Structures are given as structure tokens and as C-alpha cells.
Chains A and B, each alone.
Chain A
Amino acid sequence: MPGKTLDFVGATGRAALRFAGTVGEWGVLMQDTIRGLRAVRIWRHLVFEQMMRIGVASVPIALFIAAFTGIVLALQASYTFTGAVPVYLVGSLVGKTMIIELGPVLTGLALAGRVGASIAAELGTMRVTEQIDALETMAYDPAAYLVLPRVLAGAVMFPAVTLLASALGIVAGWLTAIQLLEMSTPEFVRGLETFFVPFDVVFSVIKSFSFGLTVTSLGCFFGFRTRGGAAGVGRAATSAVVASSMVILVFDAFWAAVLL
């Protein structure tokens, strides 16, 4: 029994060390990426394309999710608020949760799947087919050429997509409220106004900005450390999505604790 316990303790220690090592490697990649900022000529032309792929192409899925979230929020809020609670609070709940929580987090999670997996798979394939080595032999810094455009695009486009998604979610909630819940537009708007502070939008932008950095940098990170063929590429994509999703939720709690 003591042997087993020791095994367990040892395994825990090993896992912790491995985790710390992984975080450290990620840190090194980020450091390289930041250093890569200097090589403007390398990445300048690539950012727009990544913004297109990471941001613009993600707009439909983000809007789709947000629209249904807004509808569900309105329906469930009215279901929850029975009797004593004034109905205008449906507007408050839809607005507040869409802007500060569900907009950023659901968009972040959806894009972690869409963007994170695709980045990891793409860079993973480049890694196993030695395209990243080839880049290096041609004097391109892969951090500047591959990571930086994606991370920059993510940092800019996640907030943009999130803002649009939150707005559409609120509109969907409003339409639901007036069509299905016998609420009036002024009532809904009153609820919306009551607890709205402009900082909510800033908060949402900060959150989604950090999610953008997370998803893209983890996608690149897991792509870069891919080993072993197609299966490795699959693993990299999975790891990127799982890790990004977890970090997004941790960041979500972190920002709520730090900024609210």
C-alpha cells in the first residue's frame, strides 16, 4: 500500500512537472512571437489573410450561436421570473449576460473549436511534413511568419466577432420578448438600459481579446509541437481545442474576479 501511494505521489509530481514544462514551452513560443514583431516585413502581408480566416469566416457560426442563445435567454428568463419579479428584467438579463458572459465565452468556445483546431491541424501538418523546417532554412522565423499573424488576427478579430455576436444575441432576445413573451419594446429596452454600463462592453472586449490570444497561441503551440504523422496532427488539434476551452473558462473566472 505505501508503495502504491508513493507511485501515486510520484505520478502526480511527474504530471505537474510535465505541465509546468509545457507552460514553459508555450512561454518560449510567445517570447519568440513577441520578438518576431520586429520582423514587420515578414508578417505584415499575412495578417489580413488570417483575419479573414479566423475572424470573418467565423462570423456566421458565432452569429448563429448568439442568436439562439439570445432566444433561449429570453424564454428562460421569463420562465424563471414569475410573479414578484418585474418582466422588464428579461431585458436586463438578456443584455447583461449576452454582453459580459455568453457573448464572449460562447464565441470563444465555438472559435476554439473552429479556429484553434484548424490552426493546430494546419501547423501540425506543416510540422510533420517539415514545412516549418523548410521555412527556417529559408531564413524565415516561424514565430514571425506563422504564429504572429494568427495571434494578431485572433486578438483583433475575436473581440470584433464577439461584439457582433452579443449584439445579435440581444436583438434575438428582444424579438423573442416582443413576439413570444407579450413584452413591449420599451419594457425590454428599459431592462436593457437599467443595468447597462459602458464598462460591460470594455469588459467583453478584454475578455474576448484574451480568448483570441489564447485560442490562436495554443493552436499554434500544439501545432508546432506535433509529432508523428496524421495521428499526431489529430492529437494536436484535439489538445488545442481542449486546452483552449479550459483556459478560456479559467480566464473567464479570472477576469470576473479581477475586473468586476
Chain B
Amino acid sequence: MRRSEVWVGVVILLSVVVAVAGSFWLRGYRLTRGTTTVEALFSGVGQLTDGASVKLRGVTIGRVNGIAVEPDGTAVRVGLAINADVRLPADAAVLIAPESMFGDWGAEIVSRSTNPRLDFFEPSDPAVLPGFSIPDLSRLTATADQIADNLATITDRVEIAFTQETAENLRLVIENVGGVSEQLAALVDAQIGAVDDLVENVRTSTSQVSEAAALATLTLAEVERLLSGGVVDSIVGDTRVTAAEFRRLATDLRETTTGLSTTLQYADSTLVRFERIGRELETGEGTLAHLLADSTVAVQTQSVLMQLTLLLEDFRENPGRYVRLSIF
């Protein structure tokens, strides 16, 4: 064995030892401590990566070890290697959220009872923990944007359906119940070209009306009530304002420099207004929604509303999560 060979060996071995031992050390693997692996299921994992920290009550107790989409594609299974000597809460669940604004995500083991409103993914296997991924800022803004778009669509449709002329026509229809079907048909013809898919829907309504005049009478009476009560006008107006506010909310959320408390207040008032519209839309079902007939918009808006409500509540209750986002 020549000296040069020894030195070469020393340099190579030393570098390998430094790299491997250093990596393990920085990833928090300590040789002396045993770990066990628990699994959790999520509907999505955001930007969580292998090796992210796992915390319990703010203390790091392990690392994320393995992220894989389930074979059927409906969920993501995340392995958590945690210290064997840590006892988890009986109703343990896993929250994943951004740790700082640099895009490093972490997992936190929580008790489900303390987070009743979070929409945890429910695994069928009791050994697997339920998981929930807190949406990050970009999802929040995207959601607000989406709501604004949906609301704008609704506003447009409501307006088209309830122009002054339409209202007059409808009034006429109500006065002449006997000629409901013909007149509706005429109305449809008059609207052709202006409101394509609405026309289609109204045409369907027309046949329904001619089949069941009584039902039509009831329906139209309801419409009459809505029109005369000025409800439609107020819904349209409200919706437009709310859409604009959602847009502002989205912008505010994007600009993290804006004072957080203002954003929060703003989100609150927007939400209140939005919920009122939601209720009004709901009571209008059978009349307004029937006439709008574009159920996809309504359903989508409904689900988005739920999502946002959840988010904003979380926002209010755990500002820390988002505070860190905007100012570390």
C-alpha cells in the first residue's frame, strides 16, 4: 500500500462520510432513537415534500417519509416517521400547512376534536389517520377570483332574464293564464338570438307550463311576487357589488404587504354579504333558479361558497398560519 493510495482513500472516504452523515443529521435522523411510521390520507398535499418536519404541539417529532397517490387516484397517502416514544392523541389527525413563505410545508398532528370544522379526508382503515391540507394563499386568491367570476355570470343572467320588457311580458302572461303557453312561445321567439341557452331552458319551461297550467300559475305568481317586491333588483345589485368585492379581496390577498387586519375585516364583511345572496338565491329556488336553469353555475358557486367559508373561518381562528405567510 503506497502513501498516495492511503491519502486518496482518506479524502474519498472522508467526503462520503461527511456527505452521508451530514445529510442524515440535517434530516433529523438520530441513530439512537427508534421511529415508527404512521400513515395519513389526504385529498391533496399542496407542496409537502419528503423529509418535511412533523410536529406535535409545535415540537418536531419526526419527518415525512413517503408521499404517494393511492392506486385509485382518489387520495394521497403520506408516511410519517415519528419518534417511537411519542404517544399521539386518540383522535389524531394530520394537518399540513405552509411553515413559512418560502414554500416549505410541514405536517402537524392535531386532535380532531379541537378542529371540528376542518374537512378531513376520511380513510376507511382506522389505522390510517385522516388528513387535511390547509389551502395556501394562492388557492385562497384563486377561490376568491372564481367566486367573483361566478357571481358576475349570475348577475348577467339574472339581468337578461329580468329586463323591463321581460317583466312586462310576464305581467301580461299572468293576467292571461289561459294563453300561457302561446304567449310564452311568443316570448321565446322574441328572445331568440339574445339569450341562447336561456331560450332553450325557457322552451323547456314552456312545454311544462302547457302541460300543467296550474303549476305554471303558481310559478308565475311567485315570479310576480319577486318582481313586484323588488327582490330581483336587490339580488342583482348585491351580487354585482359582492363580485367586485371578491375581486378586491383576491387582490388584497395577493398583496401580502397589505395590513392583515384590514384584509380580515374585509373578508368578513364580504362573506356576510355573500352569505345573504346565497340565502336569497336559495329561497328563489323553483322560481329564480328554475328560470336561470343553469344549475352548474349555482352548484359551483354553492361549493365554492362552502370552501371559502371554511377558509375564512380558519383564517379568522388561526391567523397565525396566514400571518406567517405574509410577514414570516
Q: Decide: A48 and B8 in contact? CB cutoff 8 A.
A: yes
- Name 25 A/B residue pairs within 8 A (Cβ), A-sorted: A51-B4, A51-B8, A52-B7, A52-B8, A55-B12, A56-B7, A56-B10, A59-B11, A84-B327, A84-B328, A85-B328, A160-B12, A160-B15, A160-B16, A162-B15, A163-B19, A164-B15, A167-B22, A194-B100, A195-B102, A195-B104, A196-B23, A197-B49, A201-B19, A201-B23
Q: Decide: B19 and A48 in contact? CB cutoff 8 A.
A: no
Q: Give the number of chain A interface residues (Cβ < 8 Å).
A: 29
CB neighbours of B18 from chain A (8 A): 163-164, 167
Q: Decide: B5 and A159 in contact? CB cutoff 8 A.
A: no
CB neighbours of B8 from chain A (8 A): 48, 51-52, 55-56, 157
Q: Decide: A159 and B15 in contact? CB cutoff 8 A.
A: yes
Q: Decide: B26 and A161 in contact? CB cutoff 8 A.
A: no
Interface string of A33-58 (1 = CB under 8 A from B): 00000000000000011011001100
Q: Is A192 an interface residue (CB 8 A)?
A: yes
Interface centre among B8, B12, B16, B100 (most CB of A within 10 A): B8
CB distance from A68 to the nearest CB of B (A): 19
Docked CA distance A59–B104 (Å): 34
Interface string of A101-116 (1 = CB under 8 A from B): 0000000000000000
Q: Is A205 an interface residue (CB 8 A)?
A: yes
CB neighbours of B99 from chain A (8 A): 194
Interface centre among B2, B12, B14, B49 (most CB of A within 10 A): B12
Q: Decide: A161 and B22 in contact? CB cutoff 8 A.
A: no
Q: Who on chain B is nearest to A89 by CB?
A: B102
Beyond known contacts A48-B5, A193-B28, A196-B26: 7 more, CB 8 A cutoff: A48-B4, A51-B4, A55-B12, A86-B328, A161-B15, A193-B26, A201-B19
CB neighbours of A85 from chain B (8 A): 328
Docked CA distance A192–B28 (Å): 11
CB distance from B62 to the nearest CB of A (A): 13
Q: Give the number of chain B interface residues (Cβ < 8 Å).
A: 27
Q: Is B290 an interface residue (CB 8 A)?
A: no
CB neighbours of A95 from chain B (8 A): 26
Docked CA distance A162–B14 (Å): 12
Given contacts A51-B8, A159-B15, A164-B18, contact A198 B102 (CB under 8 A): no
Q: Who on chain B is nearest to A86 by CB?
A: B328
Q: Who on chain A is nearest to B13 by CB?
A: A160
Given contacts A56-B7, A196-B27, A198-B23, contact A163 B104 (CB under 8 A): no
Docked CA distance A85–B2 (Å): 52
Docked CA distance A163–B12 (Å): 10
Q: What is the interface of chain B, defined by CB distance below 8 A to chain A?
A: 2, 4-5, 7-8, 10-12, 14-16, 18-19, 22-23, 26-28, 49-51, 99-100, 102, 104, 327-328
3 interchain residue pairs of minimum CB distance? A160-B15, A163-B15, A52-B4
Residues facing B in A105-157 (CB within 8 A) are: 156-157
Docked CA distance A85–B102 (Å): 12
Q: Who on chain B is nearest to A193 by CB?
A: B26
Q: Who on chain A is nearest to B24 by CB?
A: A198
Docked CA distance A113–B184 (Å): 88
Docked CA distance A104–B51 (Å): 24
Docked CA distance A116–B49 (Å): 39
Docked CA distance A159–B15 (Å): 8
CB distance from B48 to the nearest CB of A (A): 12
CB neighbours of B16 from chain A (8 A): 160, 163
Docked CA distance A201–B51 (Å): 14
Q: Who on chain B is nearest to A189 by CB?
A: B26
Q: Who on chain A is nearest to B327 by CB?
A: A84
Q: Decide: B11 and A192 in contact? CB cutoff 8 A.
A: no
Q: Who on chain B is nearest to A163 by CB?
A: B15
Docked CA distance A205–B18 (Å): 13
Q: Decide: A56 and B27 in contact? CB cutoff 8 A.
A: no
Q: Decide: A164 and B28 in contact? CB cutoff 8 A.
A: no
Interface string of A162-197 (1 = CB under 8 A from B): 111001000000000000000000000000111111
Interface centre among B5, B23, B49 (most CB of A within 10 A): B23
CB neighbours of A164 from chain B (8 A): 11, 14-15, 18
Docked CA distance A162–B8 (Å): 14
Docked CA distance A161–B102 (Å): 30
Q: Decide: A55 and B327 in contact? CB cutoff 8 A.
A: no
CB neighbours of A194 from chain B (8 A): 99-100, 104
Q: Decide: B51 and A198 in contact? CB cutoff 8 A.
A: yes
CB neighbours of B12 from chain A (8 A): 55, 156-157, 160
CB distance from B266 to the nearest CB of A (A): 23
Docked CA distance A56–B2 (Å): 14
CB neighbours of B49 from chain A (8 A): 197
Docked CA distance A222–B216 (Å): 92
CB distance from B94 to the nearest CB of A (A): 20
CB distance from A67 to the nearest CB of B (A): 15
Q: Who on chain A is nearest to B4 by CB?
A: A52
CB neighbours of B4 from chain A (8 A): 48-49, 51-52, 56
Q: Decide: A48 and B14 in contact? CB cutoff 8 A.
A: no
Q: Who on chain B is nearest to A192 by CB?
A: B26
CB neighbours of A205 from chain B (8 A): 19
CB distance from B125 to the nearest CB of A (A): 30
CB distance from A23 to the nearest CB of B (A): 32
CB neighbours of B19 from chain A (8 A): 163, 167, 201, 205
Interface centre among A95, A157, A196, A205 (most CB of B within 10 A): A196
CB neighbours of B11 from chain A (8 A): 55-56, 59, 157, 160-161, 164
